[in-house]
Amino acid sequence: MSFGQDVKEARKAMGLSRREMAEAINIDPRYLANLENSGYLPSLQIFYVIVTTCKLPVEKYFYPATDEKRENAEIYRKSRKQKNN
């Protein structure tokens, strides 16, 4: 799944229209449409705002891995979180 598809799914899951999300993160709705539909990649600054707003897993985009590796990373993260609590 691409970054744009992930953003679109997260935005819809949050119950936001494209215009509402764009206003919330201070970008033009057409820019957001390009990200979601055209495979356009944002600047690092906009990327950061989007992944934090949508709570997307940033490592997925910087360290693409197989599903198995991603699942192992999630298990590791959860075990570390439990140890720290």
41-67 pLDDT, tens digit each: 899 999 999 999 999 998 888 877 655
19: three-class secondary structure by DSSP:
helix
Torsion sign, CA atoms 23, 28, 34, 40: negative
Mean pLDDT of the chain: 86
pLDDT bin (cut points 50, 70, 90) of residue 39 is confident
What's the alpha-carbon Rg for the chain, to the nearest Å? 14
In the chain, where are the structural domains located? 3-84
Instruction: Tell me what pLDDT residue 79 has.
Output: 74
CATH class of 3-84: mainly alpha
